[in-house]
Amino acid sequence: MANHKSAEKRDRQSKVRRLRNRMNRSAMKSAVRQIEMALAAGSEDEAKSALQRAIPIIDKTASKGTIHKRTAARKISRLTRRVNKMQPLG
């Protein structure tokens, strides 16, 4: 346990931020999982709509500092490529 007033405050802040980051990361993982399930089921329309719901969630997670902005961009790019590969050409 912290002994100084400033260290106690830092401990409180760390706990709040950890919970907030966990909540944001969990929401992001759930959104990605929805895409994964749609891809596994072979449902193109469901995968597209899940991707459209997931992109803002991933961006928000990055803007809050939970994940790095380039990590978010990489996740979005890879998911988009996977969903687009489902589409028949033409």
**Tens of pLDDT along the chain (90 residues)?**
788 999 999 999 999 999 999 999 999 999 999 999 999 999 999 999 999 999 999 999 999 999 999 999 999 999 999 999 987 655
44, 35 contact by CB (below 8 A): no
CATH number at residue 78: 1.20.58.110
What residues have CB less than 8 Å from 75, skipping those under 6 apart? Answer: 32, 58
For residue 14, give both structure tokens: 């760390």
Q: State the residue range of the domain holding 38.
A: 5-86
Domains contained in the chain, number? 1
Give residue for tokens 């939970």.
Answer: 66
- CB atoms under 10 Å from CB of 62, counted, come to 19
The structure's pTM equals 0.86
35, 79 contact by CB (below 8 A): yes
